[in-house]
Structure 1
């Protein structure tokens, strides 16, 4: 679901993907993030998400899991298990709709697990990588 929101004087284009296992793929102005959804155990209806919830999701990108924000094909995983990564570093390159999307780490940490390989097809919400 795509939203255009304004926080203060800044405008954001926010696309919220499927919520799966308490995580959602969110794209903000073309940058992909993985966010943790608070109160996941309560009923969550993406069609009913409010602009204030979308703004909250913008600030909730501290998750250590990277999930696919949209369906696509894994072009590259430029990190390895055990590698130290920094917040903002590209950890996965995903092709979707003939565009390359850099999925970046939201935290400084170490890659604990990689669940995909180059060429793998992923769906929205699929777990790709875990960073501790």
Structure 2
């Protein structure tokens, strides 16, 4: 699989960078049109790593929202991972970011019933409200 030099550098350099540098590298990355197959698994792994700094995990989630996911299976895998994070992660910021990001991915209409259940089950008001607002925004975009 090929990907842009920027995406390859992000992936290759990530483990050796400081927390601040990892955060900045993710924040400044703009995925290219062919980067999705390589960068998506990397970003999902960063997002799901409880040993990673929360701000870095959240930035990986935010970057997933702009990855050009053209492959249905890849998009479905990304949605599934983000939904699991939104359901079960110990950090409420990560749960909120993951739940909101689901609504920016292709094929999300298939996940709306599950996301409604997730919203109803969320114990923290502000996480529930964030994800519910993302659902409403997605509904407005599609109408």
Fold match by TM threshold 0.5: no
Q: TM-score, normalised by structure 2?
A: 0.26
Q: TM-score, normalised by structure 1?
A: 0.28
Instruction: Write 1 or 2 for the structure with the bigger share of strand.
Output: 1
Higher RCO structure (Cα 8 Å, ≥6 apart): 1
Instruction: Write 1 or 2 for the structure with the bigger share of helix.
Output: 2
